[in-house]
Chain A
């Protein structure tokens, strides 16, 4: 494409993007990820992801054939890895929505470098999450009972059950995120359409771009639609994991029956989601040389959010202990002492180390800006967040009110393979996404260049 008539340079410290960027250099860089020859690494990664995906299909197939008994569930631990994985994956999705919706409303322009693939991450993480309750129902062929569809038994779903709230909360979350993501994609799909050289690409991108012309008469409706979608996604960031937490909080089990759960879960969700955004963006910017668009400043901001949400989670861990003591309820007190020092104490201390201690590294600016440190920390945080859900689900269930009921829970190989396989689904979808669609929102990131402001005169000391 033609270069703009003037090439304006602006001091680096005023810019969100590094290097001398113009509108067309941004387009070239981002579409280059798709248009250039596929890197060898990508094929290797896709091969690995597809192998894991086969493991997922195999273990789901065996589960449906044989029944939920192939998992390590026992009495009293009737919820095991499936619910842990569900909560974990849904939680990861929350960062994408926070970036795309809340940071948009707060006019945080740095989000434009990471929002597109964070939203994609949301969709793929929620897809992984939805598998687990879906296959946990046992008789999967009548899973449609979850929806208010008239059926032969003439009964309706129990709308008072948190498990049904989940169906609607997570289902809506997925659909609204998909619509939001697609709305953001329309102008970029038009870019892909205009650059397409093969007939196949012209047709595919042409159809999905819907004939977008970039006219201001269109932008005015578009911008409002985007704002509205951001507005209605904002409460979803808070509501979805709150509803998920009611799966536990509404029951009467010690360790679950607490009012702190909704905010505590939401903070944990954002915490682990940002960790996943961090992991993925470090890999993506490295493989596709996007260091000028996803800069170290962006990563530092993500680290600050992780530090904040990590401390919120740490606060929740400690206040749970305080309330257990303060309530005077012996069952509650036992549940928490058992968590820290009982049969699952190993999991508890992994959780504390990864979620409370690791983020403290980010108090130091040097560590906050060191890519290897944050890469390892982001992975440890997600390990910790998985163990948080493990501790909540398993330690409370395995030691309920009557000691006669107590039992120790361990997963079987099918539990492990289903979880490992879900990474296959996640990474397969993610790898296909970054090869097929613009992973950074071009029409949005262009607006952070000073030239996008009509009152910009080209004077560097404005």
Chain B
């Protein structure tokens, strides 16, 4: 066995409900913490504002994907039907764009849907299977009925004792330091 050093990687505190979490988030933001997050079993209205988060920019990415998808699909149909292998079908012009609408729309939707899911995961840094918060046993309750605030060790204000004290002062209970073995 190699030497193991226990290293602190963050701190976590539990809050009683959505209202308390919202208040605590406001206090975290006011006191200048940066690398913290509020965990809950479901999205809570108003937390974005309390944490000073802007609206997600995912919409722009999906919009771009929709434009690329529809343009690409229309270009494919135009090129195959009127350039690469021109075929006159039911006496229509080679580029009878009206008939190309359904496929154009479908591919636009398809690419947007993939972008929405993959973009969301990318913005969230997922998949990521190891994270300091998973070192806490009580954190398992976050997907059931518990509410937490976690602070990461690389927050400039992070200090083992003062951060815990602060979390307690804003109503946190079951405060604990998240620790990890380092080989």
Contact = CB atoms under 8 A, between A and B. Distances in A.
A2 B18 contact: no
Contact of B90 (A160, A215, A243, A444): A160
A23 B41 CA distance: 9
Interface residues of A, number: 76
Interface stretch (A34-42, A228-236, A399-407): A228-236
B121 A172 contact: no
B117 A191 contact: no
A175 B110 contact: yes
B105 to A, nearest CB: 6
Interface of B: 16-19, 21-22, 25, 37-48, 51, 53, 55-56, 58-59, 62, 66, 76-77, 80-81, 84-85, 87, 89-90, 92, 96, 99-100, 102-103, 105-107, 109-110, 112-114, 116-117, 119-121, 123-124, 126-131, 133-134, 140-146, 150
Contact of B80 (A159, A182, A207): A159
Interface string A156-178: 11111000110011011001100
A60 interface: no
Contacts of B43: 216, 219-220, 222-223, 443, 447
A441 B6 CA distance: 39
B45 to A, nearest CB: 7
A292 interface: no
Contacts of A221: 56, 58, 120, 123-124
Nearest to B63: A228
A455 interface: yes
Nearest to B47: A216
A451 B17 contact: yes
A217 B125 CA distance: 11
Contacts of A239: 102, 105-106
B84 A156 contact: yes
Contacts of A179: 113-114, 116-117
Sorted nearest first, the 7 A-B pairs with minimum C-beta distance are A23-B145, A225-B120, A215-B37, A156-B80, A210-B127, A191-B143, A165-B102
A82 B143 CA distance: 44
A198 interface: no
B112 A24 contact: no
13 contacts: A23-B145, A182-B117, A207-B129, A211-B127, A213-B39, A214-B41, A221-B120, A224-B56, A225-B117, A232-B109, A444-B42, A446-B42, A456-B19
A176 B65 CA distance: 14
Interface in A1-40: 1-6, 22-24, 27
A156 B81 contact: yes
Which one of A194, A217, A443 has the highest number of Cβ atoms from chain B below 10 Å of its Cβ? A217
Interface string A391-433: 0000000000000000000000000000000000000000000
B129 A206 contact: yes
Interface of A: 1-6, 22-24, 27, 148, 154-160, 164-165, 168-169, 171-172, 175-176, 179-180, 182-183, 187-188, 190-191, 193-195, 206-207, 210-225, 228-229, 232-233, 235-236, 239, 243, 246, 442-444, 446-447, 451-457
Nearest to A215: B37
Contacts of A225: 56, 58, 116-117, 119-120
A160 B59 contact: no
A191 B39 CA distance: 13
A440 to B, nearest CB: 13
A171 B107 CA distance: 10
Contacts of B119: 225
Contact of B143 (A165, A190, A206): A190
B37 A172 contact: no
B117 A168 contact: no
Nearest to A157: B80
